[in-house]
Structure 1
Amino acid sequence: MKDILAEIVAKKKEIVNDARREMPLTEIKARLNEGKGQFGHFRMSHSFRQRDWNLIAECKLQSPAKGRLNKTHSVVEMAHIYEANGAAMLSVHTDPHFLGSNESFREVRQAVELPLLRKDFVIDEYQLYEARLLGADAVLLIARILSPAQLKEYLYTTWSLGMDALVEVHDEEDMEAALSTPAEYIGINNRNLVTFETDIQNTLELLPYVTGERSLISESGVFTQEDAEILQQAGCKGILVGEGLVRANDIARQTRLMAKVGEKAEASA
């Protein structure tokens, strides 16, 4: 069976090497140190601590498994819709397999005030500094593609740049690696990284393994308000939703429904 994750990681090594040649890490660090305000202010955690429920809405145009998901909106247009309809944070892809790019991330950064998660496959510390230079407030650290030592090292590097990290897990082994770090935010991905199929049951099965004061985010496979409610009632702090929003007939309404899970007021009113 085709291993999509392995293909993405192999290509990512080439992308990072090309980026290093174009702008060495020393130059990125120099730019970050040039003036005040270049480092982040942990905007994700500040925002999430003020809410009982958080929707991370994803600006996503394409999936490696399903192809083009949305042909009617740009990532910036999606970002405006999400921001206007209750999302707590935005996730913006910069990987070409999802039609993402650094330029599209910059455009979203200029267009909205919400905290931004740079959605990518981090395999090198270079990408962490690059993310902050782009204006990211948080990064995704995928336990499956990092050694336990790298995961912990990259988490501390992320924090040193004033950014939050969402540590992504897919199974018990990943969860063990995540829990061996002081990560505050753990994202349980419901997507099988080999087949790219999704099932929110993965979150429900992994939740009991969580120890300590962690905030859990369920990622992928959330398509309905009912899905979101199940996850909220199970103990999740929020959800990261891409396809469930970008393929909706009414993206604005679907965003409101997902963002207001747990509230007494009807989002559809």
Structure 2
Amino acid sequence: MSDDFLAAMAAGSRRRAGEARVRIPYDALERQARQAAAPPKLRLHARFDLIAEIKLRSPAAGGPARADDDLPTRAAAYAAGGAAAVSVLTEPSRFDGSIHHLQRAARMLEPLSLPAMRKDFIVDPYQLVEARAAGAGGALLILRLLEPAELASLVAVGRSLELFLLLEAFDAADLDAARALIDAVGPEGLLVGVNSRDLTTLQVRPERLLELAPRLPRAVPCVAESGIASADDACAVARAGYRVALVGTALMQSGDPGALVRELVDAGRAA
């Protein structure tokens, strides 16, 4: 997942957004989004929480994609285990995702008062409106894909739609960009995540979460992403100052994802 990969994903994302605008114009989609019921709010525990992820395929892991027929069941298991939110990959070309997956998860989670979060290579305000129209309560923004003015604009749109926004960082420079954005627009509705995956090799470096912990912004909840698979992992990131973990691969590979969610949440809160 090099910068070239990110650039390719961003280009594909812009193309998808443009094609979607042809099918449903921005104004029409925005009316649909604003007429929909408000999504559940993200409510975080004072000590530690978990965002559980649904991804049918991972370019890093390889192998065949999972079928999407168990998506509602998996979302229900995450909720039963105590997840604070469910992240849903919607990128189609490399992750086999779909906006319809987000819609299905959000529909299942809404009665449980848990938000779904759109995870994609978001580059266009249209994609935030699309997420809100699908029932999402949040979305992820990759800091290095966007210029400061673009980020500020997307944050303004997200806030107007009552979405929480997870700002994803990969290194210290990204965290500096996150801090500058928070200083400029305020912390409301924002989280900052550190993804421990190396963008050049695709390998996960869990130690990066601890190395970057001293640079975490203190004004918002911070999220540890990638490489968290055990109670010890959850304990370590909680002690380092992360208030949330985002876990995908370990849960997708688990035979009892609800139990693993509970194990990780309990370990983080006991740290």
Instruction: Using structure 1 for the length normalisation, give the TM-score.
Output: 0.89
The gaps in structure 2 that reach 5 residues or longer are: none
Deviation at 1:118, TM superposition (A): 0.8
Check whether the contact 1:217–1:237 (CA below 8 A) recurs between aligned residues.
yes
Given the superposition, is the C-alpha separation of residues 73 and 218 from structure 1 closer, same or farther in structure 2, using an over 3 Å criterion? farther
Matched to 1:61, the amino acid is L
Given the superposition, is the C-alpha separation of residues 117 and 251 from structure 1 closer, same or farther in structure 2, using an over 3 Å criterion? same
- Which residue number corresponds to residue 88 of structure 1? 84
Given the superposition, is the C-alpha separation of residues 264 and 206 from structure 1 closer, same or farther in structure 2, using an over 3 Å criterion? closer
Given the superposition, is the C-alpha separation of residues 108 and 193 from structure 1 closer, same or farther in structure 2, using an over 3 Å criterion? same
The gaps in structure 1 that reach 5 residues or longer are: none
1:238 lines up with 2:244 in the alignment: yes
Instruction: Please say which of residues 227-236 and 71-80 is displaced more in the overlay.
Output: 71-80
Deviation at 1:134, TM superposition (A): 0.8
Deviations 1:54-95 (A, max 9, x none): 110001111022233645972222101111111111101111
Q: Runs of 4+ in structure 1 displaced over 6 angstroms?
A: none
- Which residue number corresponds to residue 168 of structure 2? 168
Identity of aligned residues (%): 33
Residue pairs, 1:147-166, within 5 angstroms: 147-166=147-166
1:203 lines up with 2:209 in the alignment: yes
Matched to 1:83, the amino acid is A
The aligned length equals 259
Q: Partner of 1:167: helix, strand, or coil?
A: strand
Residue pairs, 1:249-264, within 5 angstroms: 249-263=255-269
Deviation at 1:249, TM superposition (A): 3.5
Deviation at 1:209, TM superposition (A): 1.5
Check whether the contact 2:89–2:95 (CA below 8 A) recurs between aligned residues.
yes
- Which residue number corresponds to residue 102 of structure 2? 105
Q: Partner of 2:50: helix, strand, or coil?
A: strand
Q: Partner of 1:13: helix, strand, or coil?
A: helix
Deviation at 1:226, TM superposition (A): 0.9
Deviations 1:105-162 (A, max 9, x none): 1111111231111111111111111111111101101101001111122112111111
Residue pairs, 1:54-133, within 5 angstroms: 54-67=49-62, 68=64, 70=66, 74-96=70-92, 97-112=94-109, 113=112, 114-133=114-133
1:220 lines up with 2:226 in the alignment: yes
Given the superposition, is the C-alpha separation of residues 6 and 74 from structure 1 closer, same or farther in structure 2, using an over 3 Å criterion? farther
Deviations 1:18-65 (A, max 9, x none): 1111111111122234x4x54556x11xx11x4421110001111022
Out of 184, 193, 212, which is 1:187 matched to? 193
Matched to 1:10, the amino acid is A
Separation (CA, whole Å) in 1 of partners of 2:88 and 2:262: 19
Deviation at 1:173, TM superposition (A): 1.1
Q: Partner of 2:267: helix, strand, or coil?
A: coil
Matched to 2:18, the amino acid is N
Q: Partner of 1:62: helix, strand, or coil?
A: coil
Deviation at 1:175, TM superposition (A): 0.8
Cα root mean square deviation, aligned: 2.1
Check whether the contact 2:234–2:265 (CA below 8 A) recurs between aligned residues.
no
- Which residue number corresponds to residue 12 of structure 2? 11
Separation (CA, whole Å) in 1 of partners of 2:163 and 2:119: 13
Separation (CA, whole Å) in 1 of partners of 2:220 and 2:30: 31
Q: Partner of 2:181: helix, strand, or coil?
A: coil
Separation (CA, whole Å) in 2 of partners of 1:253 and 1:32: 34
Deviations 1:166-192 (A, max 9, x none): 111011111111001224310111112
Matched to 1:91, the amino acid is S
Given the superposition, is the C-alpha separation of residues 51 and 89 from structure 1 closer, same or farther in structure 2, using an over 3 Å criterion? farther
Separation (CA, whole Å) in 1 of partners of 2:50 and 2:68: 22
Separation (CA, whole Å) in 2 of partners of 1:249 and 1:72: 16
1:141 lines up with 2:141 in the alignment: yes
Check whether the contact 2:49–2:268 (CA below 8 A) recurs between aligned residues.
no
